[in-house]
Amino acid sequence: MTTTNHTYHGPLKLAVFDFAGTTVDYGCCAPAAVFIEGYRRKGVDITMAQARGPMGMEKREHIRTIGAMPAVAAQWQQVYGQAMTARDIDAMYEDFVPLLLAVLNDYSGLIPGTVETMRYLREYDILVAGTTGYFDEALEIVQTAAANQGYTPDFTTCATRVPAGRPAPWMIYRAMEALSVYPPAAVVKVGDTVPDIAAGLNAGVWTVGVAKTGNEVGLSEAELTALDSADVASRLTAAHQKLADAGAHYVIDGIDGLPAIIDQINERLAQGERP
């Protein structure tokens, strides 16, 4: 019996990006602030680290995951005399939606290097998809703001348009289907959170973590600039390590570092390597 070698040797054909912390909203600040405010309105104080922990997930699941943290669950029990229920999560999600929509435009500035990186991808005929853990209305605001600044993906989707958000691979697969791109080896997933990396690995694609501009450092460009160099270096090292430990094939500071990684992945593909 003869066998056929189906190893893909071609170049990358699709790059799938997260929005907040990767292409817009330097520091992934909008959702973190809203989660803190949402819990505060329920009489429960959460830290920025707790708010950011599940970042990248679908937002209802994000609320549930925060509420399941022992310290948060203990506060909730103290305030309400019982554990958080599914009805509580639904109510918090209903409050979260208008809170986020009210501030989203203020946090939708493009991260430096985004337009230039997209220009590079176009030059090499690499399609672009934008995905997010946000819901439909929030996606519409973000993608409109991004388009007004020169960033328009070929396809966009969000967690509420697929069976489950990250770490499930469905948004990546939806982009591949919509843009007629396969096999998974021809795709790279770029994002700033652990669920981003997990989704890419679950989809069988290449994964690139974004450290400096994203959730793991969690500071706006102005806040980061105000720090001394030693503090910046320490935060960056920790962010790089966390994304690498999550399984990212590569970790970069920001989106402007992606072109060099694309070249490296294409070299590996030409040699028959797979993600």
Q: What is the set of active-site residues?
A: 18, 59
CB-neighbour burial class of residue 66 (10 A; exposed 0-12, middle 13-18, buried 19+): buried
State whether the Cα torsion 167-36-46-217 is positive or negative.
positive
Neighbours of 14 (CB within 10 A): 24
* Tokens coding 234: 């320490």
Spatial CA neighbour of 24 closest among 198, 127, 143: 143
- State the Cα–Cα distance between residues 88 and 108, nearest whole angstrom: 29
CA-based nearest residue to 210, from 179, 187, 188: 188
The secondary structure element, H or E, covering residue 191 is: strand 187-191
